[in-house]
Amino acid sequence: MKFSYKILLCSIMIMAAAFGIGGYFFVNYVFETSMEREIGQAMDESSILQFAFETAALNIPSKYAVLQDSTIEEIGLNLENSGERRLLRISDENRETLYASEGFVEETELLSSTTAQTKVYQVIPLNEHYYIQTGTVINAMDRILYLETMKDVTEVFAERAQGFSVYRRLTLIMLISCSVAMFFISSWLTRPIRLLTRATRKMTEGDYGYRAEQISQDEMGQLTIDFNRMAEALEENIHQLENEVRAREDFIAAFSHELKTPLTAIIGYADLLRSRKLDEEKHFLSSNYIYTEGKRLETMSLRLLDIIVTKRYEIETQNFGVEVLFDYLHDMFAEKDDIRLTCSYQEGRVRAEINLLKTVLLNLVDNACKASEPGAIVEVYGERREQGYLFAVKDYGTGIPEEECKKITEAFYMVDKSRSRSKNGAGLGLALCTEILKLHGSELQIESTLGEGSCFSFLLPYEEVMDSEQKADH
Ligand code: ADP
């Protein structure tokens, strides 16, 4: 059953119980008040009749020493018919009826409980009518008599029945109108829940961008805000997962493609070597192809291993002076004739894993050399900036097209595949650099102009800066 219907049903039940009980007590209260008034009147009338009887008895001529039964009957008849007709019964000392109005109740139960000190009454039903029967004692001329009266109160009972019937109808009308009002109130109250349910359904169907509309500022409104926040986080995570899955698929596709080329060459040349007798030069060329392609495969697998290991690596950073890195690069490329490497840097200290940082710089310088003509200049420099220490490798080589700059850090991505492969590249160097810099909380910045050259740089937080700013060229 719907939540709004549950609210509606509970409200109807509570209202019905409240109206029913309230109405019952109200009508009964009115009835009891009327009955009290009627009883009071009946008792007063009984006292008046008692007094009237005693007065009438006193007026009887004194020659009658004793009050005769016939006189009592006569007085009774007079009392019955004086003014409005009333019902009464007069009994003697033995509670034997001396005079009774026509239609007076026959039973004498009340009479037996009437004494000289107490006036009594009871409500009795008789022939579809209700009466208040009163009983009192009359003391007249040394005779003890019992006077009973009956007052018709059927109207009071009828009023009560009518009161109940009117109230029942009223309750029904109120219940119907309140139910209609409650129907709208409960569906208004549960609207945020319906909106949330719709949002959940939409999200289950794959529409992760759908958000629930916030229509109130209360707890339901807060719930909607929290739900939307959760949906946002969920959407972000799902997109991240989707991107990761896509990246993995791209990686596998690129990896298989990169394996295919050297393997085809190796298999082709190996087949040539085993199936034909080749002259010495062709034999050397074929073996050399197999060797160089095999070497490429080896480099690729080592790089891949490096990337995988780096991803799971927990770095242990050291605080060291940057000159260590520049000296290392200088030593590495000092012997190479085909390139002129210049290193200039401001002194400073950074916090990093030194060997990983050497790998990054080595890769960047290596790429710069590959992109440059023989004998060209490659600059490596270090600068203290507000945000940290900047390392940069700048070349004046081929440059990279603007749209390719974002892609070259992806694994196996090469701008010019044949040129890269011919230089033993596999498109993994920059992917490795990116992973290493990520471990250090940094990222690679690439600025490049096609035909003019490129500059690869990254920032590292520096620990402590020396006072004297020195620039040293090596
Ligand atoms: P590779 O092993 O092929 O060098 P990298 O990941 O290091 O792989 O580089 C990816 C690609 O980016 C290279 O194939 C090259 O096309 C391009 N690239 C990298 N550095 C430079 C540079 N300094 N100048 C021009 N192109 C570059």
- pLDDT for 26 equals 94
Q: How many Å apart are CA 221 and CA 214, to the nearest integer?
A: 6
**42 CB-contact burial (10 Å; exposed 0-12 / middle 13-18 / buried 19+):** buried
Considering only CA atoms, which residue is closest to atom 21 of ligand 1?
367
The single residue listed with the structure tokens 């040394």 is 142
Mean pLDDT of the chain: 87
CA distances from 341 to 326, 332, 362, 374, 400 (A): 11, 10, 12, 12, 20
Tell which one of 255, 298, 370, 458 to mutate to probe ligand 1, the residue whose CB is within 8 A of the most ligand atoms: 370
**Mean per-residue pLDDT for 231-240?**
93
* 401 Cα to the center of ligand 1, angstroms: 12
- Contact in structure between 375 and 338 (CB atoms under 8 Å): yes
Q: Kindly report the pTM of this predicted structure.
A: 0.54
| Confidence at 3, pLDDT banded by 50, 70, 90 | confident
* 260 Cα to the center of ligand 1, angstroms: 20
Q: Which amino acid is at 63?
A: K
The torsion angles phi and psi of 460, rounded to 5 degrees, stand at -125, 145
The pocket around ligand 1, CB under 6 angstroms, is made up of 363, 367-368, 371, 395, 397-398, 400, 408, 413-416, 420, 425-431, 454
Considering only CA atoms, which residue is closest to atom 19 of ligand 1?
367
Considering only CA atoms, which residue is closest to atom 2 of ligand 1?
425
Tell which one of 408, 432, 435 to mutate to probe ligand 1, the residue whose CB is within 8 A of the most ligand atoms: 408
pLDDT surpasses 90 at 230 = yes
Handedness of CA 83, 85, 86, 91 (dihedral sign): positive
β-bridge mates for residue 194, sequence order: none
pLDDT surpasses 90 at 431 = no
Considering only CA atoms, which residue is closest to atom 13 of ligand 1?
414
**Mean per-residue pLDDT for 325-350?**
87
Of 154, 146, 71, 51, give the one whose Cα is nearest residue 108. 146
- Contact in structure between 346 and 470 (CB atoms under 8 Å): yes
- pLDDT for 63 equals 63
pLDDT surpasses 70 at 468 = no
- Asked which of 81-85, 294-298, 373-377 is least confident by mean pLDDT, the reply is 81-85
Which helix (H) or strand (E) covers residue 132, if one does? strand 129-140
